[in-house]
Amino acid sequence: MSVEAPERLEIQEHFPTDAEYDKLLGKKNRKGLIAKMFFMAALATAVLALAALLYTIVNESFGLVAQVNQNEPEDIVASFGYDPSTTALADLSYDELVESLGGGISTNVGRRLEREQRFYADKLVFESDELWAEICSSDEPPAGCDSSPRDHAGVLQLVNERIVQPDIIAAANLVPSLLDPQAFEEDVEVTFANTPERFPDYTFDQVQFQWRAWLNPTFLVTPQSTAPETTGIRTAILGTLWLVIITITFAVPVGVGAAIYLEEFARPSRFNDFVQTNINNLAGVPSIIYGMLGLAIFVRALEALTSGAIFGIEQANGRTVLSAGLTMGLLTLPVVIISSQEALRAVPNSLRQAGLGVGATKWQTVRSQVLPVAIPGILTGVILALARAIGETAPLILVGAASFITADPTGPFSKFTALPIQIFQWTALPQFEWQHLAAAASLTLLILLLILNAGAVILRNRYSRRPQ
Amino acid sequence: MTDQALHDPGMGQKLRSSRNVTERIILVTLLVCGAISIATTLGILWTLGTESLLFFRDPEVTITDFFLTTAWSPQAGSFGIWPLILGTLLITVIALLVAIPIGLCAAIYLSEYASPRVRGFFKPVLEILVGIPTVVFGFFAITFMTPILRGIFGNDVVGFFNVLSAGIVVGILIIPLVSSLSEDALSAVPDSLRQAAYAMGASKLETSLRVVVPAALSGIAAGVVIAMSRAVGETMVVTLAAGASPRNFMFGQESLWDIVNPFVGAQTMTGYIVITASGDLSYNTIDYNSIFAIGLTLFFMTLGLNSLSRRIVKRYRQEYE
């Protein structure tokens, strides 16, 4: 169907016919569709990257391992008269674990272990009483003289390390272990057949194939060790907890105080503008710079305070959890201030006017009217700041978090390690076991963060449901 | 309080003055809290400044060598910062090449195409990426990205430590910065502009690309600059995945490819600081002081980028409010 073009359209050289118009429109629509697909693909790529990250971590955290034990845990359990099929090594009592340890190591090794940390508060296992009294009254008494006795997890680790002596010679990731468990066993067999020199101490018959969750309850409660088979992250988790406590104690009062000042008390002035700009700038400073600040100020300049020397605590230096906590406090301060400011700004002005109207002072109004309404918002910000403090690594390295430490941190003046530090150290080690351990520690860290963030979301929901 | 007390003018006076004293104490306390943030900035400047000064006072170092020579090997006594800046820039450029297209296209999709439900689901999902600790990204780079790259390009081409893997992973890490700031900017464009474009017969794609994106360009640019600042300061991924050897070079002696080759490692400014500090670092050595000189350079680079971003945002606000 063709329509004669009216005269006024003659100024255009060519007006598209319906067929041409449909074609053009079709082309345009196709282009639009392709572009939409392209934009969707970009979003999908970003989500896929997140999925790949989580996949990698879970994939490395579980899987089949090829393991050789010097002594079987079942035999140890059976030697105490238990049924190995229902009782695990970890189910043995403390006394039984100590007994099995004593039966498998030489007295000299036992003495050394007892000098590191004793087994019982009231009796000695390897040392004789006279000798113990003698070495404890010497000039440099060993740590075992005054420290508290070992606990169940600690002795379990010793039994594993010294008696069972597991050696993981190969490990597979989760997905290959599920899809084709045979392939892994065959791989190990082929390696044994072709290159026996790689495992000079073992024959293939000794190898046991079993599932291993690198992230398991024992891993969480066991102190660090140099052997990947028996190491744990208890010291790291406790270090992270101490760090968080010190960070909150410093950053929350100061951050909320600064936010109240800026939102409720400060009149627009050049100084207050400067404070606000400065806070925004601080939020953009790379975390490693805060680490350098902490190193120079808290670790070095304030060493007497952060090492606990002025409180009479003998500590070699200021590389303590207190220094790290204060550094993290400064780092999270801008986040706490900015989110608290937003929470305060969301409080309706009518509340303030009502408070001031009945004769309350400014501070009374803030304390009893404004703050209670703003607190859920402030808490959300605090939790997000904490999540940041838990995951930061670079500042901790700068202020000297120890990479290898087996003693639990006992106070603000302890040397410490933390979860991200463990992940960093283990990731950097070349042997394959450490990669799985780094994945397990990462998974722990992510679960911790997930719990914190869920807390923030719940708070936010409760807050938004509340009538104002 | 009895009625009599209420009528006693002296009592009111007393109450008022004690209230005023409390108010003043509170005000001063809060002011001190605010001032701590200023003290932090001054602390950073003072620390980095004085330690850098010690570094430049060292007879082995001159400030011109630091900024003008292109070899960083502290053992050999040559301190030219350019190899470290080169490493940082290479990774930043790769990260931006990854993050800008993905982040911007995802933002266009979320702001212009997606239904509110889809947007409500994907925005928080992208923001999860911001919350994941960077050391976990470093682990991801080594165990996932590097093996993939080595599989694609060959083990002899791609080193175990390489700039490409670190750059891509840093790019993934900053995608949410680009996408969420761009999305905010796109959503802030008034609907009247879109309606005007539709009325002229423009398709959704034409409206998005030729009307909405240009109108939001300053906001998008601000987001990109913020993301760039984050990439420059990023530490753990580059330390783990890009290696610990500075890429020293001499103009004219190496080919351009050798200088920018993304398949081999290069130490960055942040990487050098971390590696140097994680050993047993003794105070007042030239190594110790050198990390502060590099920190100062890094501080000014990120400060410059952040101020630039804020300036762009300011202009953008004037346009629409």
> Which tens digit of pLDDT belongs to each residue from B86-124?
999 999 999 999 999 999 999 999 999 999 999 889 988
Answer yes or no: do B36 and B108 share one domain: no
Provide the chain B residues 44-63 that lie in CB contact (below 8 A) with chain A.
44, 47-48, 51
Q: What pLDDT score was predicted for residue A314?
A: 66
Range of the structural domain that residue A182 is part of: 65-221
**Domains held by chain B: number:** 2
Complex prediction ipTM: 0.89
Answer yes or no: do A323 and A446 share one domain: yes
Residues of B in contact with A53 (CB under 8 A): 132, 136-137, 140, 144, 172
Q: Which residue has the tokens 């600690």?
A: A154
Q: Is the pLDDT of residue B151 over 50?
A: yes
Interface test with B, best of A36, A38, A50, A53 (most B CBs within 10 A): A53
Answer yes or no: do A255 and A378 share one domain: yes
Answer yes or no: do B246 and B116 share one domain: yes
The domain boundary residue, chosen from B57, B79, B101: B57
Answer yes or no: do A210 and A255 share one domain: no
Range of the structural domain that residue B28 is part of: 3-57
Contact between B270 and A47 using a beta-carbon 8 Å cutoff: no
Answer yes or no: do B160 and B136 share one domain: yes
Answer yes or no: do A410 and A273 share one domain: yes
Planar angle of CA A368, A374, A380, nearest 5 degrees: 140
**Domains held by chain A: number:** 3
Answer yes or no: do A267 and A151 share one domain: no
Q: What pLDDT score was predicted for residue A328?
A: 94
Interface test with A, best of B135, B137, B204 (most A CBs within 10 A): B135
Q: Which residues contact A131 (CB under 8 A, 6 or more apart)?
A: none
The domain boundary residue, chosen from B42, B57, B72: B57
Please, are residues A66 and A170 in contact by the beta-carbon 8 Å criterion? Answer: yes
A43: in domain = yes
A226: in domain = no
The Cα B196–Cα A303 span in angstroms is 66
Please, are residues B71 and B248 in contact by the beta-carbon 8 Å criterion? Answer: yes
Answer yes or no: do A186 and A277 share one domain: no
**Closest residue of B to A258, CA-based?**
B34
Answer yes or no: do B13 and B122 share one domain: no
Answer yes or no: do B41 and B84 share one domain: no
C-alpha distance from B185 to closest chain A C-alpha (Å)? 17
The domain boundary residue, chosen from A221, A245, A270: A221
Answer yes or no: do B48 and B81 share one domain: no
User: A66: helix, coil or strand?
Assistant: strand
The Cα B211–Cα B219 span in angstroms is 14
Per the structure block, which two tokens stand in for A351? 């509340």
Q: Is the pLDDT of residue A48 over 50?
A: yes
Answer yes or no: do A158 and A255 share one domain: no
A4: in domain = no
Q: Is the pLDDT of residue A185 over 70?
A: yes
Which domain CATH number covers B234?
Answer: 1.10.3720.10
A313: in domain = yes
A420: in domain = yes
Answer yes or no: do A133 and A189 share one domain: yes
Which of A351-360, B19-28, B45-54, B85-94 bottoms out in mean pLDDT, i.e. has the lowest? B19-28
The domain boundary residue, chosen from A221, A253, A281: A221
Answer yes or no: do B146 and B10 share one domain: no
The C-alpha R_g of chain A, in whole angstroms, comes to 32
pLDDT band at B6 (very low <50, low <70, confident <90, very high): low
For range A130-149, the mean pLDDT: 77
Q: What pLDDT score was predicted for residue B108?
A: 95
Answer yes or no: do B112 and B34 share one domain: no
User: B67: helix, coil or strand?
Assistant: helix
Going by C-alpha positions, the residue among A354, A61, A112 that lies closest to residue A219 is A61
Region label for B243, one of left (φ > 0), alpha (ψ between -120 and 50) or beta (otherwise): left
Answer yes or no: do B158 and B36 share one domain: no
The domain boundary residue, chosen from A193, A221, A249: A221
Residues of A in contact with B283 (CB under 8 A): 300
Q: Phi/psi at A267 (nearest 5 deg)?
A: -90, 155
Per the structure block, which two tokens stand in for B99? 């993050």
For range A295-322, the mean pLDDT: 80
Provide the chain B residues 197-216 that lie in CB contact (below 8 A) with chain A.
203-205, 209
Of A374 and B258, the structure prediction assigns the larger pLDDT to: A374
Answer yes or no: do A105 and A168 share one domain: yes
Q: Which of A70-74, A89-93, A146-150, A395-399 has the highest mean predicted lDDT (pLDDT)?
A: A395-399
Q: Is the pLDDT of residue B312 over 50?
A: yes
The Cα A120–Cα A144 span in angstroms is 10
Answer yes or no: do A409 and A423 share one domain: yes
Interface test with A, best of B45, B143, B292, B310 (most A CBs within 10 A): B143
Q: Phi/psi at A211 (nearest 5 deg)?
A: -75, 140
Answer yes or no: do A102 and A152 share one domain: yes
Nearest to B302 among A43, A285, A330 (CB): A285
